[in-house]
Amino acid sequence: MTGQALLSVEQVAVDLPTPRGNLRAVDRVDLGVGAGRTLGIVGESGSGKTMLSRAILQLLPKKARLSGRVMFDGQDLGRLDPERLRQLRGRSLAVVFQDPMTSLNPVLTIGTQLIETLQEHLELDALAAKKRSVELLAAVGIPAPEQRLRQYPHQLSGGMRQRVAIAIALSCEPKLLIADEPTTALDVTIQAQILDLLAREQRRRHMAMILITHDLGVVAGRTDEVAVMYAGRVVERAPTRALFKKMRMPYTEALLAALPKIDAAPHTPLPAISGRPPDPTRPVQGCSFSPRCRYAVDQCQREKPLLSAAESPDHQFACFHPIEAGV
């Protein structure tokens, strides 16, 4: 990552008090993304990827404790007053969630929601806001945009709703778009359309994007850099091409291997990862992946490996026994 990162996440940790004790959802994460770049964050449920995106947006649950620093466009988001933060979130920092129904208001028309956003953040008058709304809906591939403005979210399909959510997110020309599992609820052909749309708009606007997903297939062709999360930590981070060429962290490799391959013969047994992720209220002393790792030795159970680079400075991994290069 270059010096002029638009967003930089520095030693961010999120702790959530639960009846069963403290839950460290995000554990000292460092990440960054520059203008016009796409960072993929990959992880399974409970890996902390969504909590991390909420920490960036300063939208954590009330009880959560955040430590570390989130620098965005030269400002420390943790130090901004709530009003300034609110302005920033609508304008230069936008987000698209997995389920568009959670971000769209079910009792307001699509038009009201889009026009309201534009009026609030860009101070457009009603007519200009409406005109801009139609353009935005057309840009995200919604047919008959004028008519859609009068419709309610429930009258649209899942794919169309996600397009509306993207139109709202893009409406104020954000500098950074966080897309949190934007296609997980959608069918595979619609998923391809939405990912194409995000990529196209990102290029056109020279916007930075964070694409959060559980699917290594989604990040492979559509990101510049990938961070893999496991049990709240980033365990491997590299430029996308370098990562797929040479995975060093056994978890990343195992995650890829566990995916059914379209070109494998039927009934080929899948190399499954045994066991399951650790209980986040009972942290593992050593490497969190060690109980499931086939390369684990004593040291892995005792000590926590730090995220560090070996031969190439931009390929980092947290492992004492990384997979050897060229294997």
Partner 1 sequence: MSASLLSVENLVVEYAVGGKTIHAVSGVSFEVARGETLGLVGESGCGKSTLGRAVLQLRRPVSGHVMFDGEDLTAMQGDALRRMRRRVQLIFQDPIASLNPRRRIGDIIAEPLVIAGVKDPGKRQQLVCEVLSAVGLDPALVIGRLPHEFSGGQCQRICIARALVLKPEFIVCDEPVSALDVSIRAQILNLLEAMKARFGLTLLFIAHDLAVVKAVSDRVAVMYLGRLCEVGPSEQLFVRPAHPYTALLIEAIPVPDPDVRPAESVAAGEPPSPMAPPSGCRFRTRCPRADNRCSDEVPELRAVAPGQFAACHHPLIPSA
Per-residue contact flags (x/-) with partner 1 for residues 269 to 298, judged by CB under 8 A: xxxxxx-xx--------------x------
Identify whether the C-beta of residue 42 lies closer than 8 Å to the C-beta of residue 97: no
Report the 10 Å Cβ neighbour count for 71. Answer: 16
- In the beta sheet, which residues pair with residue 233? 230
Helix (H, G, I), strand (E, B) or coil at 132: helix
Site residues for partner 1, 113-142, by CB under 8 A, read none
Identify whether the C-beta of residue 152 lies closer than 8 Å to the C-beta of residue 161: no
Residue 160 interacting with partner 1 (CB under 8 A) = yes
Pairing label, strands 75-76, 308-309: unpaired
Site residues for partner 1, 199-258, by CB under 8 A, read 214-218, 220-222, 240-241, 244, 254-256, 258
Q: Which of 267, 282, 311, 327 binds partner 1 (CB under 8 A)?
A: 267
Q: Which of 204, 261, 294, 302 binds partner 1 (CB under 8 A)?
A: 261
Among the residue ranges 63-71, 107-115, 152-160, 293-301, the one whose residues contact partner 1 (CB under 8 A): 152-160
How far, in whole angstroms, is CA 92 from its chain's centroid? 17
CA distances from 210 to 154, 176, 316 (A): 27, 8, 18
Residue 187 interacting with partner 1 (CB under 8 A) = yes
DSSP 3-state percent helix, strand, coil across the chain (nearest 5): 35, 20, 40
Residue 190 interacting with partner 1 (CB under 8 A) = yes
**Closest C-alpha among 146, 147, 175, 143 to residue 159:** 143
By C-beta, is 2 or 268 nearer to partner 1? 268
Task: Please provide the distance, in angstroms rounded to a whole number, between the alpha carbons at the two ends of the chain.
Answer: 27
Question: How many chain residues interact with partner 1 (CB under 8 A)?
Answer: 49
Site residues for partner 1, 55-84, by CB under 8 A, read none
By C-beta, is 262 or 327 nearer to partner 1? 262
Tokens linked to 200: 């196209």
Residue 45 interacting with partner 1 (CB under 8 A) = yes
Q: How far is the CB of 187 from partner 1 (least distance, A)?
A: 4
Binding stretches for partner 1 (CB under 8 A): 44-45, 157-160, 187-193, 195-196, 214-218, 220-222, 240-241, 244, 254-256, 258-274, 276-277, 292
